[in-house]
Structures are given as C-alpha cells and as structure tokens.
A and B are shown apart, each in its own frame.
Chain A
Amino acid sequence: MKVRDALLDELAQHTIDDKPYWFRLDRRDFLKLFGGGLLVCLADVSTWAQESGRNFGGHELPKDIASWLHIAADGRVTVFTGKVEVGQNIRTSLAQQVAEELRVPFDTITMVMGDTDLVPWDAGTFGSRTTPTMGPQLRTMAAAARDMLIETAAARWKVDPATLTAADAKVTNPRNGHSLTYGELTRGEKLMKTVSGEVALTPASDWKVAGTAVPKVNGRDFVTGKHKYPSDIVRPGMMFGKVLRPAGFNATLVSVDTSGAEKISGAKVVQDGNFIAVAAADASTAESALSALRATWNVPAQPSNKELFALLKQPPATQQEDRGPEHVSGSVPQAMASALIQLHQQYTVQYIAHAPLEPRAAVAEWVSGKLTVWTGTQRPFGVRDELMAAFHIPVEQVRVIQPDMGSGYGGKHTGEAAVEAARLAKATGKPVKVVWTREEEFTWAYFRPAGLIEISSGAQHDGTLVAWEHHNYNSGPAAITTPYNVANQLIQFHPANSPLRQGSYRSLAATANHFARESHMDEVAHAVGMDPLEFRMKNLSDPRLRAVFQTAAEKFGWGGSKSTSQRGFGIAGGTDKGGYVATCVEVEINPDKKIKIRRVVQAWESGAIVNPDGLRNQVGGAIVQAIGGALFESIQFANGRILNPHFAQYRVPRFSDTPQIEIVLIDRKDLPSAGAGESGIVGLAPAVGNAIFAATGTRLRNMPMAPPSAASGETVSMFRS
C-alpha cells in the first residue's frame, strides 16, 4: 500500500471528525515575534504536505509555510514544528538534524513544539512520520540558511562563496582565516528567506552531530521533577474540575439531582445537556461535589467479549463504501486447488488499552474571549479544531499548548479533557484543571481495535508458497500485505461496527496482521517440515527484510539448540512504516504451563540512524510494551462497562516480565531515515507464539496468549504468565 493511503487510513481510524480549518498566518505578524536575526521559512511544500498534511475533507494544505527556523543576533537558533515530544525523543533527534545542516553546536538550538499559536499547522504526531518528513523539512531549511549565511559573508568579503566554509556557527575563509559568527552576519537585522525547491543535504555518511548518541534534551529536568507535564500546569486562581461519567457507554441521562452538590461550599455545578461537571478550589472539594451528584442513566444492553468476534465478522450495519481488496494477484482459488499443502486458520486480538502513565489532563483559561488550553495530545491542531467546534469560536480565539507529556502510544489523539476543562473554565470564569482518573482513562479514552484475521495458504512440498489469502476484520489495514513472494494473493481489510470506541495505537493493526501472518508462516513451515527461518528465506527476496532476519538469527544463535518441552525458540519478522524488524525469542514453560519470556534478540533497520541511543531506547521499549498485548493485556467489557479499569485488574508489563533483551541496529547510511517509534512492537507476539508451539506443540492463535484466568475471552488458553 502506498504511504499516503496508509496515512489516510490511519486518519480515518481516528474517532473524531475532522474539522477543516486553516489559519493563514500573516508573515509580518510573525516577524514581530522576533527581534533581529534571520528567519527562514520553508515554502513550496506540496511534496512534503502530501505526507505530513492531509488534503481531504476540504482541508487546505499549508501552502505558505510548513516550518520555520530563526537565528537570533546572539546566535541562538529556534526551530518551530507542530510535532510533539511524548517520549519518543524527537525534541532531541530533530535538533540534531538542524545542528548538523546549520553547522552549529547542538546546545544553541531550542525546539518550539506543539503550540498552535507559534508553530505551523501539522496533522499530528503519529504514523512514524516525524523522522521521514519533518526531519528532511528541517534539514532543508537549515541547509538553506547555512548557504544564505555563506553568501552573505562572501558578498561582504567580495569572494566566491564556494571558497568559504561553515562550521561551529561561523563562516570562515580558509585562505586568510577570517571568520564571522552567524549572529554577526545577520547584524541584528530582520532578514527573511523563503526556501523552496531542492537544497543539497549533508549525506548521512558525513554526519557529525546527527547519527550520534546525543543525550535527551533537558534530561536533568526529568530526573529532578522540574519538567512540567500537562497535569502539572498551574494557573493563578485555578480551580479543579471533575466530570460526571455516565453509568455505561451509550447511556442516556434520565434524571439528575444536583442539589446535594450545590450545597457544598465552594463547589460550582455545571450542567449543559449530558455534560454534568463540578469545579472547586481544590480537588477534594470537587471530588466531594461529584460524589454528591445523583444521576440516573439508561444504559442499553450491549455486547461483551463473548460475542465480540462474531460481531466483528458481521458486515457493518451502516453501509460503508466498499474499499475492495488491498491487494490481488493471480488466482487464489486455482492456486489453492493445485497446492499440496493447504492451511486455513483464524487469529484474534482483543481490545487493549494504551494506559499512558499520565492520564488525559488539561488546564483551560479564558482571557478576553480567547481560550488557551495546556493539554497532553498528539494532535494539538486537532484539539484546537475540537475546541473551535465545541465553543463556536474562530481559530484566532483558541490556542493549544502541548507540554512534553507522559506519553500516548497513539492513545492521545483526542481532546476530551481539553473540552471539559474549557467548558468548566467558561462557566466559572477561572482557569480550570481536569485530570482524568486512571479508571476514566481506562474507560472513556479509546482502545486499540480488536480484530479477527483469517488466513488461507497453499504451499508445495518444497516449501514454495503459491497462495495467500488474508482477511482482517476490524483491526485495520496496516502491514496487511505480505512481504513474502506469493504469486496468488487476495488481501482485504473489512471494516466493522466496533462495540467499543477504538482508535490509533502504536503500530496500529501491524501488530495484529504480523501476529496472524508470522504465526501462519510458522504453521506452514511445520507443515512442510522446514525450519521456520529457512522457510521464510526461501519465500523472501526483499534484501532489507532478509538482512534483519539473518542478523537476528545469527546474534541469537538460531538453530544452535533444539526446543524442548520446557524451552522453546521462535522467530518472526516483518516490515511496516519503513522499518524492518526480526525477532528471536526464547520462552520457558514450567510444568504448570506458566510462560516466561527469557531472552529476546531483535534486529532493526530503518535507514540512516539519527540517534542510536534514542533508537535503541524506542526499539527496546516497543519489545517490552509488546509483551503485554502478546501475553496478558485484554480489555474485559460487558453491557457498556469496562470490567477491569484499574492496574490491579488490567496487567501491564513490569520489571519481572522483562526478559534479557539484545538489540542489533543496522545503520543504512545510504538510505533515508524512517520512523522507529512503532514497528519494533510487531515481531514479539508471533515469535513468542511460535516458540510456545516449538516447545509444546500447542498453537496459540489468540492474543493475549496467556491471559489471567479471570479473562472471559472466547477462547481460553491453557497457558498463564
């Protein structure tokens, strides 16, 4: 699938409607923000915008400017981008790329991110798009700025610009040793350059700052507690808000008695349709007022985990446009008929929760009709649109600021807390903070989609795959196409009516589709009597995927020991969003069927590495997060209620679940850098399932594979973890 289609699919999976507005910043206004110095803007961005923006739903692309960069007279560099820092380390890695092209010390750069009054419009931080799109945009501007400064120096010295060099924030004439700092070159004047077209970028093989393990920007503020997350923001006179949640999903309000809450001194009750909330000067009073509200809700009967997969298989009640197959080639029925080995299997994944450790939080403040909201979101401009729609205000009257937040993993695309805090702030006339409880976050956010996947395959006895049919119901089309060589294919995603609110999640459906595909590949390998790695390589020609498989297998010592009933070895891999991954695992199964992942070796390649330490951290984190979905994470629901909305009931990976992890990074300096925050999650689950099969002969086709005994999923696994 083309990258853009995949992005549109990802956006289409969001649970909020797109509100198409585009505010054209007046450049003269913008220049007023700065003192003297050089402002560089990137224009002619149609190529970029197709990837980083969206051109549907009437949304105009940011034709004027996609990003900008300012060099002050004192040499300080400020970079403005709509991308946000949520723990994936782009505040550092983007600054490295600017430092590289501009030839300035890394610590002279400040990144302004995710403030809708200061940065250019951006669709949001998701889909592993920051590195492949924002990275080159910022590099282009920085390289153009450097060229302009060299030209300025050349004009002043009356020499050929080609004879000058730029390094360490200075332009130097090597022939006479004369040099001028960038600040001196701007002379404090207000200079502006608009960059369009191609600018030569420094190849990765020549990188000196990019490509190195620069530590996280402001790391000290994170170990000392000084960093202010969205939930830490305090405004003068701020009140604390709590929202009354319905008794279940799709509930309607029958009646509410607010008199008890209104009697509580200092509490303000706000009712606006189904929105019932309280605000008070402190959180305890707000909590008491919330408890004093008496509401009756009508909650309709709704499905539970038991009916989930039958439900997802049903065609949607609302007629959706038939999107057709993702990929068709040859004839699967004919190839299946002639195949000597035929397999038909079904795989499932449950709903899981992102559970970012910082729940949704917002502080909202109205000043002279203008709303400012500090909130944790991956889509500040999306939240701005939500606020404009909710309060019927023009874009000039809303500002969303996104302080680097306590992560999201795809779970914070929406602005619920922002809207709630803004409504309460409007009613009270004071700034209001709303921080969701863990239970609210587990219940009223949205989930990674559950999914049902059916795969049919045909192979010859020599291990040649001849037919591959893959149907994904509800979970999504990400990485649905097979990277293996199969002449006859039918691959299709089938949208469904989800009983729960669902949305983006780290790697989207790539985890589910890889779990199904790589488990099934293992099944075919066993059916034809081949080693699982050998079978994959026989059907694989993509050199990048072959390279990660070979690298992981070599580091792991694949084939060195045979699986026993207590110890299994498994392998899986794949590619998505420009990243290539292969995962080998060693799993221990004790006599009472308890599973422990002992060792993971993961090879990763995503082009030229921008920051090897940050990349290793992301890939390692993805492996650990993958353990939850693979073995035990599962949202339990019935009749419009979440049955396990606490960490005591919804288990997430902890220290004791963490295996020995070895990560091998392949640095392809000859290839563009791809995003790496997501796809490292896809290999673990199938590798674990394959290892369990190798040890026990039992094939697990449902994620989670070893849920707590209380789980009420359709298929009960005999394994625990």
Chain B
Amino acid sequence: MADFVLKVNGTELHVSAPADESLLFVLRDRLNLTGTKYGCGEGQCGACTVLLDGQPARSCITPASGAAGTNITTIEGLEQNGQVSPVQQAFLEEGAFQCGYCTSGMVLSATALLRKTPHPTDEQIVAHMDGNICRCGTYPRIIDAVKRASQSPAKAGGQ
C-alpha cells in the first residue's frame, strides 16, 4: 500500500491504496466519487475520462499515485455554486443522452476540447471525441451540445 495525496476538485484528499491501483478505482471505491464510470478498463471507451491539469485522461489506465501533484477534475467538480457548467447545461438543453452512462466522460472530454479550441468545427469535435463511446448512439446530439456550449457566453472551459 502507498500513501499519497490527491487534489480532486480543489480538495486535497489522503489516499492509501496499492501504488498501481487505477485512478478510476481510487475515485470510485475509496473516495466515493462514482460519477466517473468504468466502461472497459483499457482506455478504449472514454467513460472514465477525468481532467488532469485540464487535459483529458483515461482514469482506468492512469495509476492513482501518478496523478498526485496534478489538479484532478471529475464530473462532480464542474458545478460552481450550484450552477452546472455551460457544457453540462448544453447537454441538458440538447437532451444529449439516453441511459447517461457515457455522459460524465463525454462532458469532461468536451470541456477539455472547448478549453483548447473554443469554437471547434464538426470535424474537430469528431476527432477529439472519437475515443468516447455512446452505445445508445446519441452522437449527433452530443455534437450539437458541444457546439451549443461553444456559443455560450459563459465560455465552456471556465471553472
């Protein structure tokens, strides 16, 4: 077991876990942040996407101990003062989900994209999001939601 500190959604949390345990399982099982989802365990589906210093990362293949020292953002960290982020709001307005299991990963991938590319083209959205699977097939609505968020006056990447 290794002891380390993770800074998650702005809060420093002490963790005791095997050094190679994935960030996904530390978040879900040890810190009870279950908004981050398991989908494949090998970085192929994007359900477990979190932001490390603003960059999207697959938490299922990221050792938790290696994420110490970064700012980790999970889906639970996007709300500010009870207000959902522009990306979250856009997903709601477009109805861009069915079962919603992929939504956390989609929202975080989109958040990272808009921070880097505030006004992406459809091609840029597809290229950036192609590692995120929505098995319910709501891709067109997700693209619409990303575009809607990119037009939001609050600017999507801000937290």
Residues of A participating in the B interface, judged by any CB pair closer than 8 Å = 86-89, 215-216, 219-220, 222-229, 231-232, 234, 240, 282-284, 355-359, 404-407, 409, 435, 437-438, 613-614, 617-618, 620-625, 646-648, 652-656, 658, 661
Q: 1/0 per residue B126-150: CB within 8 Å of A?
A: 1101111111111111110000000
In the complex, how many angstroms separate the beta carbon of A213 from the nearest chain B beta carbon? 8
From B101, which residue of chain A is reached at the shortest CB distance? A406
- B138: contacting residue among A283, A621, A656, CB under 8 A: A621
Residues in chain B near residue A86, CB distance under 8 A: 99
B100 CB–A CB distance under 8 Å = yes
From A681, which residue of chain B is reached at the shortest CB distance? B137
Residues in chain A near residue B68, CB distance under 8 A: none
In the complex, how many angstroms separate the beta carbon of B93 from the nearest chain A beta carbon? 9
Q: How many angstroms from the CA of A88 to the CA of B98 in the assembled complex?
A: 6
From B24, which residue of chain A is reached at the shortest CB distance? A283
Q: How many angstroms from the CA of A618 to the CA of B133 in the assembled complex?
A: 17
Are A406 and B99 closer than 8 Å at their CB atoms? yes
Are B99 and A646 closer than 8 Å at their CB atoms? no
Q: How many angstroms from the CA of A225 to the CA of B25 in the assembled complex?
A: 16
From A227, which residue of chain B is reached at the shortest CB distance? B100
Q: List 7 A-B contacts (CB under 8 A).
A: A87-B136, A224-B76, A229-B37, A282-B25, A284-B25, A359-B38, A654-B130
In the complex, how many angstroms separate the beta carbon of B91 from the nearest chain A beta carbon? 5
Are A357 and B34 closer than 8 Å at their CB atoms? no
> Binding site of B, secondary structure by majority: helix, strand, loop or mixed?
loop
Are A87 and B130 closer than 8 Å at their CB atoms? no
> Binding site of A, secondary structure by majority: helix, strand, loop or mixed?
loop
Residues in chain A near residue B132, CB distance under 8 A: 655
B84 CB–A CB distance under 8 Å = yes
Residues of B participating in the A interface, judged by any CB pair closer than 8 Å = 17-18, 21, 25, 28-30, 32-42, 44-45, 47, 74-76, 78-79, 84, 88, 91-92, 95, 97-104, 107, 125-127, 129-143
- B137: contacting residue among A229, A437, A625, CB under 8 A: A625
Q: How many angstroms from the CA of A624 to the CA of B38 in the assembled complex?
A: 22
From A433, which residue of chain B is reached at the shortest CB distance? B29
In the complex, how many angstroms separate the beta carbon of A299 from the nearest chain B beta carbon? 24
Extra A-B contacts (9), CB below 8 Å, given A223-B92, A405-B99, A617-B141: A87-B100, A224-B78, A282-B29, A356-B101, A358-B101, A405-B101, A617-B95, A617-B98, A656-B127
- B29: contacting residue among A88, A283, A407, CB under 8 A: A283
Q: How many angstroms from the CA of A88 to the CA of B36 in the assembled complex?
A: 22
- A647: contacting residue among B42, B79, B142, CB under 8 A: B42
Q: How many angstroms from the CA of A406 to the CA of B99 in the assembled complex?
A: 5
From A658, which residue of chain B is reached at the shortest CB distance? B139
Are B137 and A357 closer than 8 Å at their CB atoms? no
Residues in chain A near residue B32, CB distance under 8 A: 234
Are A647 and B92 closer than 8 Å at their CB atoms? no
Q: How many angstroms from the CA of A88 to the CA of B100 in the assembled complex?
A: 11
Q: Which 10 A-B pairs have the closest CB atoms?
A: A225-B35, A624-B137, A87-B99, A406-B101, A222-B100, A225-B75, A647-B44, A87-B98, A621-B137, A232-B34
From A232, which residue of chain B is reached at the shortest CB distance? B34
- B135: contacting residue among A407, A437, A622, CB under 8 A: A407
Are A652 and B135 closer than 8 Å at their CB atoms? yes
In the complex, how many angstroms separate the beta carbon of A114 from the nearest chain B beta carbon? 14
Residues in chain B near residue A89, CB distance under 8 A: 98
Q: How many angstroms from the CA of A159 to the CA of B73 in the assembled complex?
A: 63
Q: How many angstroms from the CA of A600 to the CA of B126 in the assembled complex?
A: 18
Q: How many angstroms from the CA of A408 to the CA of B78 in the assembled complex?
A: 28
- Residue from the set B34, B36, B42, B126 with the largest chain A CB neighbour count within 10 Å: B34
Are A648 and B42 closer than 8 Å at their CB atoms? yes
Q: How many angstroms from the CA of A356 to the CA of B98 in the assembled complex?
A: 12
Q: How many angstroms from the CA of A661 to the CA of B130 in the assembled complex?
A: 18
In the complex, how many angstroms separate the beta carbon of A353 from the nearest chain B beta carbon? 10
Are A229 and B135 closer than 8 Å at their CB atoms? no
Q: How many angstroms from the CA of A622 to the CA of B33 in the assembled complex?
A: 31
Are B44 and A646 closer than 8 Å at their CB atoms? yes
Q: How many angstroms from the CA of A223 to the CA of B101 in the assembled complex?
A: 10
Residues in chain B near residue A646, CB distance under 8 A: 40, 42, 44
In the complex, how many angstroms separate the beta carbon of B78 from the nearest chain A beta carbon? 7
In the complex, how many angstroms separate the beta carbon of B58 from the nearest chain A beta carbon? 12
Are A284 and B137 closer than 8 Å at their CB atoms? no
Q: How many angstroms from the CA of A215 to the CA of B98 in the assembled complex?
A: 11
Residues in chain A near residue B102, CB distance under 8 A: 357
In the complex, how many angstroms separate the beta carbon of A230 from the nearest chain B beta carbon? 10
- A648: contacting residue among B33, B44, B97, CB under 8 A: B44
Q: How many angstroms from the CA of A437 to the CA of B92 in the assembled complex?
A: 30
Q: How many angstroms from the CA of A617 to the CA of B137 in the assembled complex?
A: 9
Residues in chain A near residue B35, CB distance under 8 A: 224-226
In the complex, how many angstroms separate the beta carbon of B1 from the nearest chain A beta carbon? 9
From B106, which residue of chain A is reached at the shortest CB distance? A223
Residues in chain B near residue A438, CB distance under 8 A: 39-42, 45
Q: How many angstroms from the CA of A89 to the CA of B103 in the assembled complex?
A: 15
Residues in chain A near residue B37, CB distance under 8 A: 229, 231, 357-358, 406
Known A654-B130, A656-B130: A357·B39 in contact at CB below 8 Å = yes
From A660, which residue of chain B is reached at the shortest CB distance? B140
Residues in chain A near residue B47, CB distance under 8 A: 357
Residues in chain B near residue A407, CB distance under 8 A: 98-99, 101, 135-136
- Residue from the set A89, A358, A405, A437 with the largest chain B CB neighbour count within 10 Å: A358
Residues in chain B near residue A409, CB distance under 8 A: 135
Are A620 and B141 closer than 8 Å at their CB atoms? yes
Residues in chain B near residue A282, CB distance under 8 A: 17, 25, 29-30
Known A219-B92, A407-B99, A654-B133: A284·B41 in contact at CB below 8 Å = no
Are B88 and A224 closer than 8 Å at their CB atoms? yes
Q: How many angstroms from the CA of A614 to the CA of B99 in the assembled complex?
A: 12
From A435, which residue of chain B is reached at the shortest CB distance? B38
Residues in chain A near residue B107, CB distance under 8 A: 223
In the complex, how many angstroms separate the beta carbon of B87 from the nearest chain A beta carbon? 8
From B33, which residue of chain A is reached at the shortest CB distance? A225
Residues in chain B near residue A355, CB distance under 8 A: 135
